[in-house]
Structure 1
Amino acid sequence: MSTTLTRGTVHILSAPTALCPHVEWALGSVLGLDTPVEWQRQSAAPGEHRTELRWTAPQGTGARLASALRGWPRLRFEITEEPSAGADGSRWSHTPDLGIFHATTDVSGNIMVSEDRIRHAYEAGRGDPSVVFHELSLALGEAWDEELEPFRLAAAGAPIRWLHRAG
């Protein structure tokens, strides 16, 4: 039986120094790696660090990574999993205040909002455009984007480490 592989990226946008070894362990346990992670200072949060990893692994690895990381306090991260044969892409975003957000993505990384979610926004709005706007904002993960953007900008130009694993 063959396993369909996909690629993705883990962006640890902010982790307290004491948490970094635990994050490394969680990443290694999901990705099957015993490779040390290269941490850099996160200028948007003094005393915290960031790292980025590209991975190749079976479909569903992004969800396993998000599950392994989501319980850590003060951890900010984003995980992407590219679309692959028979599976849409995904993006997970996490902040200490908001928790985790998941969205399905297209081949360009755009968030895809389902018909049911759009219908829910219309029905919840009951003619009030501000409620429809709020529901669509939630569906797009805008609150997570707003909170994570300063951490993304501080990581601009950071090196990315490529990690590959066969089936």
Structure 2
Amino acid sequence: MAYWSHKFRPSITRVAPSAPPLEFHAGSRGRRGRCSSSVSRFEQRRSAVSTRGSTRGVVYVHSSPSAVCPHVEWALSGVVGYRVNLRWTEQPAAPGQLRAECAWEAAPGTGAKLAAALKAWPMLRFEVTEEPSRGVDGERLCYVPGLGLWHGRTSANGDTVVGEDQLRSLVAASGSSEAVAHKVDEVLGGAWDEALEPFRYAGDGAPVAWLHRVG
């Protein structure tokens, strides 16, 4: 099937697989998993395909009121089935609000479940990524107050993928080259990327919690 792809994605922090059960723990890291406008800083750190019946991803909570932070942890805990404790830091792009990140490894489809759980708190700004797994596309989900939730499929190298039928429909519904460009930007989540970019920069170098397998 033909598709159109767009390479403008946050990199994903890897989590090394081992054995169950799952849990979160705090850790520190440098620039791995950071988001930036520069292509070089967007260098992908993904494995091509997860082959053990699971996949990986990252939850970026770009901004949250301090009073909502415990609810964010409870929401994530409800999806993974274990207590989640995130390391929250100040979000300079939104004074008075906090940010956190967590990498995860779980069954395919977990990314959408995590996003659905966080969407219950409409004041949050967040992104959830999921790597491709055997027979399953990767995905990225972004939420911004006022814009709502954007969802896009991603390939093994992190490109956003637009399917053939969707692309044909997009072109057919657009009466000019300007309209096509506008629709393409909409499908690729351009408004969400623009809104979230200051928050990605502001989180550079912040600590990340890891969802990993122990035991």
Q: TM-score scaled by structure 1?
A: 0.93
1:154 aligns with 2:192: no
Secondary structure of residue in 2 paired with 1:116 = helix
Q: Runs of 5+ in structure 2 lacking a partner?
A: 1-51
What is the identity, as a one-letter code, of the residue corresponding to 2:70? P
Corresponding residue for residue 101 of structure 1: 150
- Structure 1: distance between partners of 2:197 and 2:82: 29
- Structure 2: distance between partners of 1:165 and 1:77: 24
Secondary structure of residue in 2 paired with 1:117 = helix
- Cα-to-partner distance string for 1:88-112 (whole Å, 9 max, x where unaligned): 1000000011000000001121100
- Aligned ranges for residues 7-156 of structure 1 at < 5 Å? 7-126=56-175, 128-156=176-204
- Structure 2: distance between partners of 1:155 and 1:115: 36
Sequence identity percentage: 50
| Deviation (angstroms), 1:165 | 4.4
What is the identity, as a one-letter code, of the residue corresponding to 1:146? E
Choose between structure 1 and 2 for higher RCO, CA contacts under 8 A separated by at least 6 residues: 2
- Structure 2: distance between partners of 1:99 and 1:153: 21
The answer to whether the 8 A contact 1:7-1:57 is kept is: yes
The list of structure 1 runs, each at least 4 consecutive aligned residues, that deviate by more than 6 angstroms after superposition, is none
Q: Indicate which of 38, 43, 53 corresponds to 1:4.
A: 53
RMSD of aligned residue pairs (Cα, Å): 1.3
The number of residues matched between the two structures is 163
Secondary structure of residue in 1 paired with 2:111 = helix
- Structure 2: distance between partners of 1:165 and 1:63: 20
- Cα-to-partner distance string for 1:125-155 (whole Å, 9 max, x where unaligned): 13x1111111101111000000000000001
Corresponding residue for residue 49 of structure 2: none
Query: Which structure is higher in helix share?
Result: 1
